Homo-oligomer: A and B are copies of this chain.
């Protein structure tokens, strides 16, 4: 039997058919207090993927105050917030609507209703959706994940998914490491269905 690593080498010799490179627009929505976007950006760059990343404005303070700074302050918080949110909305909805793939990241600490809102918005537009969150909050996200194509736990998995989707490139080490057995080896040829 072949080692997994060797198998990977074999596999990678047969790649997806593509006579010319398309640039894939990928919108990164959600969580702004951790560095997941940078991990994805570095991974995309390292693998040299034909990907154009975009995101909402990531400066929390600016996204709260932008409306008040440009248009003037408001006495009450809901009015202050609305000015800013409608301004951010121009960027968010434009980039999300023009994306090929939408990635939405949820964390344990914040409610991030805007992330779930973006996921719903993307789903209604028929965008392929990738969610990213720690497994501990999986149950609370079951409706969101039901509309997702891929549910990741780590940003590296998002990069691996993009590499596979776009170039047909799979990681040399599977998530389950040496325990990984291809389905055809495990169940035998002929599509048994235990």
Contact = CB atoms under 8 A, between A and B. Distances in A.
Interface size class of A (residues with CB under 8 A): 35 or more
A87 B149 contact: yes
Interface string A97-140: 01011000010000111111111111111101010000111111
B16 A68 contact: no
Given A85-B145, A91-B166, A191-B140, A70 B171 contact: yes
B82 A18 contact: no
A98 to B, nearest CB: 8
A20 B176 CA distance: 35
Interface string A163-192: 011101011001110011111100100011
B184 A61 contact: yes
Contacts of A82: 142, 145-146
A9 interface: no
A69 B119 CA distance: 25
A59 interface: yes
Contacts of A118: 120
Given A119-B117, A183-B65, A16 B91 contact: yes
Given A80-B183, A94-B100, A174-B69, A59 B168 contact: yes
> When A and B form their complex, which 9 residue pairs have the shortest distance between CB atoms, in order from nearest?
A120-B120, A124-B124, A85-B146, A116-B116, A17-B55, A114-B143, A117-B120, A120-B121, A81-B142
